[in-house]
Amino acid sequence: MQTLVVDHPLVAHKLTTLRDVRTDSPTFRRLADELVTLLAYEATRDVRTAPVTVTTPVTEAHGVRLTRPAPLVVPILRAGLGMLDGMTRLLPTAEVGFLGMIRDEGTLKAETYATRLPEDLSGRQCYVLDPMLATGGTLAAAIRLLLDRGADDVTALCLLVAPEGLAYMDEELKDVDVPIRVVTAALDERLNEHGYIVPGLGDAGDRLYGVV
Ligand code: URA
């Protein structure tokens, strides 16, 4: 698995405000959205394209277009929804699948409660949206589900990752021989005893949508 920490002053600036406990939900949503678009730019470096020729007002020009089947973007509910617009802004032709997963706060294990994905993902590039890669249980389970349906290239976009989560994902997905990438704004220090990322930004879902 490959991890890319996007090193850019705008990313660092927006992330700092996201972390700040005084940032209210509307500002948090806007900044998360902007941050995802910046991450998406890096995350799509390997998006598949094919050569095309277009006619300019002057002459012919050689360029590229995204290939079909269109990439699939998969936000993990609930917090991943806060990343969807920021991603599809750069990839408007992407299709969107949904995965509802919840972490049992006692066992920290992921449970899947909703799946809305194409049955056959052969030949599809998939982009999974999950803001907090903490223990890695949810993201590893989500990626395994996509691979089981035939996905042959998976990139996860996470606002923050913890070293424990990356290590878990490496171990869980070590048998996988297709490209798996994690693109993030920061690799934080550690997890605390409740499975929260430290220093982190708290509960991403609650900060996006309130405590419901
Ligand atoms: N999920 C969150 O929303 N925050 C964390 O720190 C860990 C998991």
Provide ipTM, 2 decimals. 0.96
Angstrom CA distances, 153 to 18, 28, 128, 139, stand at 29, 30, 11, 15
What is the Cα–Cα distance from 152 to 179, expressed in whole angstroms? 7
**Chosen CATH of 2-50+67-196 out of 3.40.190.10, 3.40.50.920, 3.40.50.2020, 3.40.50.300:** 3.40.50.2020
Q: Which of 8-17, 32-41, 94-103 has the lowest mean pLDDT?
A: 94-103
Ligand 1, residues 203, 207, 209, 211: which to mutate, most atoms within 8 A of Cβ? 203
Looking at residue 105, its pLDDT comes to: 73
- Catalytic one among 19, 29, 103, 149? 103
> pTM of this prediction?
0.95
Instruction: Give the start-to-end residue ranges of the domains of the chain.
Output: 2-50+67-196
152 Cα–ligand 1 center, Å: 28
Annotated binding site for uracil: 197, 202-204
pLDDT tens for residues 87-144? 999 999 999 999 999 877 777 678 899 999 999 999 999 999 999 999 999 999 999 9
